[in-house]
């Protein structure tokens, strides 16, 4: 019997947990209810519980004799968006939704914890890391600042993410760059407000902001070497409150993604140069706040092989893609992987809406696969004898 078979024996319990979490989503560093459920379940299964790690993070510690230690990590937070589904367990918290499957990831790690607490088929220590605030809120850094690896040492760490559009029972991973580093930026353009009927008396920050937005697209097209990969996207422009008022200021916001620190610096320098220069051309001024939110996620080659082999042991090697191309999405598990060698794998979520979509729903049939691969990689790293 594989770990998948064993975990399917209590899949109904896990599904109930997951759907309860989905109905009660909480934003980053506010996951008090979620953390309480996690702590309660871990304690029920005889696992040592440490709460409040990195504000709302939870770490469960399971020891079976002396030996090395591994960390298994899942994220707990939701996104600030409205859910557009008719699910019986749809979000009951307005403006909050588990649209990235973190409710499923939390449940997967709980499933792995229950299995490992029951089987005990390992020698060493397993740290179950339930991380808050992954969605650009700084949850990984908060846990690290709170002494995560000093308090709960790990020789290797592993995590996963569900992948819509990939069949159930299939996994994807590759050594090296897996997810891009990410930055957020805000550009405040200040001009001179005036009546909308008298534009000659203004310095229009909205017009300047539109030209800055267009010019920003030249940074990747004309500054980044074609062999590199980079994305710079403006995702919001806010300015003005009335139809007949030219406002005093306008704000441009967006994100930048790369796989290298040098390229990220190039994007930052270009954003500042373009924003200040274009604004000045209109007689306005610009202030740029460009901040790194995610480091590039780099899979350690050795740990990638260990995690891929664990997946193959469950579903067969033909169902494990070991050459997954890097993605431009970001993942703050990367900050933990800068401290401890680790690997991050994608698990098929079947035919669902895409991540961060208001119609997204985690596939509960995915839970045994994710829980089992986390449990199996821990058992294989901490083999008895």
Q: What value does the CA radius of gyration of the chain take, rounded to a whole number of Å? A: 23
Q: What angle do CA 261, 258, 297 make, to 5 degrees?
A: 80
Asked: is 3-177+296-381 a CATH 3.40.630.10 domain? The reply is yes
pLDDT in tens, 220-251: 999 999 999 999 999 999 999 999 999 999 99
Sign of CA dihedral 20, 24, 29, 35: negative
pLDDT of residue 385: 55
* Share of the chain residues as helix, strand and coil, in percent rounded to the nearest 5: 40, 25, 35
Tokens of 242: 């009335």
pLDDT of residue 341: 98
Kindly give, in sequence order, each residue whose CB lies less than 8 Å from that of residue 384, ignoring residues fewer than 6 positions away: 121, 122, 123
pLDDT in tens, 183-203: 999 999 999 999 999 999 999
In whole angstroms, give the CA distance from residue 73 to residue 43: 17
In whole angstroms, give the CA distance from residue 259 to residue 230: 8
- Best CA proximity match to 293, nearest among 138, 132, 131, 133: 138
Ranges assigned E (strand) in 54-93:
57-64, 69-75
Give me the residue label for tokens 């051309």: 281
**Does this chain's domain 3-177+296-381 share its CATH topology with 181-294?**
no
pLDDT in tens, 114-143: 999 999 899 999 999 999 999 999 999 999
SS3 225: coil
Q: What is the pLDDT along the chain (385 residues), one digit of tens a residue?
A: 899 999 999 999 999 999 999 999 999 999 999 999 999 999 999 999 999 999 999 999 999 999 999 999 999 999 999 999 999 999 999 999 999 999 999 999 999 999 999 998 999 999 999 999 999 999 999 999 999 999 999 999 999 999 999 999 999 999 999 999 999 999 999 999 999 999 999 999 999 999 999 999 999 999 999 999 999 999 999 999 999 999 999 999 999 999 998 999 999 999 999 999 999 999 999 999 999 999 999 999 999 999 999 999 999 999 999 999 999 999 999 999 999 999 999 999 999 999 999 999 999 999 999 999 999 999 999 997 5
pLDDT of residue 384: 75
User: 181-294: what fold?
Assistant: Alpha-Beta Plaits (3.30.70)
Domain boundaries in the chain? 3-177+296-381, 181-294
In whole angstroms, give the CA distance from residue 252 to residue 272: 12
First to last CA, the chain: 21
Q: What angle do CA 360, 333, 233 make, to 5 degrees?
A: 60
pLDDT of residue 1: 83
The pair phi, psi for residue 127, each rounded to 5°, is: -105, 115
SS3 158: strand
Tokens of 382: 């901490």
In whole angstroms, give the CA distance from residue 124 to residue 180: 33
């Amino acid at each position: 019997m594989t770990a998948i078979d064993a975990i399917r024996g209590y899949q109904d319990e896990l599904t109930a947990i997951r759907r309860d979490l989905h109905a009660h989503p909480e934003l980053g560093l506010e996951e008090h209810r979620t953390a309480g459920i996690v702590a309660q379940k871990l304690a029920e299964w005889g696992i040592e519980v440490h709460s409040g790690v990195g504000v709302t993070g939870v770490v469960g510690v399971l020891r079976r004799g002396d030996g090395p230690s591994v960390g298994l990590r899942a994220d707990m937070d939701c996104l600030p968006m409205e859910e557009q589904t008719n699910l019986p367990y749809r979000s009951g918290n307005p403006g909050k939704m588990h649209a990235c499957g973190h409710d499923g990831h939390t449940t997967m790690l709980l499933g792995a914890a229950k299995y490992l607490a029951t089987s005990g088929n390992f020698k060493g220590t397993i740290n179950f890391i339930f991380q808050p605030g992954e969605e650009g809120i700084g949850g990984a850094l908060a846990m690290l600042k709170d002494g995560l690896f000093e308090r709960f040492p790990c020789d290797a760490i592993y995590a996963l993410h569900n992948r819509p559009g990939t069949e159930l029972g299939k996994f994807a991973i590759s050594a090296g760059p897996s997810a891009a580093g990410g930055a957020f930026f805000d550009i405040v353009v200040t001009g001179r407000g005036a009546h909308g009927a008298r534009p000659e008396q203004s310095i229009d920050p909205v017009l300047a902001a539109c030209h800055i937005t267009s010019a920003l697209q030249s940074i990747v097209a004309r500054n980044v070497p074609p062999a590199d990969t980079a994305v710079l996207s403006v995702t919001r422009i806010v300015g003005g409150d009335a139809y007949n008022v030219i406002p005093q200021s306008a704000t441009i916001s967006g994100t930048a993604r790369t796989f290298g620190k040098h390229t990220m610096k190039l994007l930052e320098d270009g954003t500042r140069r373009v924003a200040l220069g274009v604004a000045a051309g209109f007689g306005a001024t610009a202030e740029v706040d460009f901040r790194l939110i995610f480091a590039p996620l780099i899979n350690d080659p050795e740990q990638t092989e260990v995690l891929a082999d664990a997946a193959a042991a469950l579903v067969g090697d033909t169902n494990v893609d070991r050459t997954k191309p890097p993605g431009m999405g970001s993942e703050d598990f990367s900050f933990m992987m800068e401290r401890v060698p680790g690997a991050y794998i994608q698990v098929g979520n079947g035919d669902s809406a895409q991540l961060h979509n208001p119609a997204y729903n985690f596939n509960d049939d995915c839970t045994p696969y994710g829980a089992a691969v986390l449990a199996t990689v821990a058992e294989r790293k901490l083999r008895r004898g």
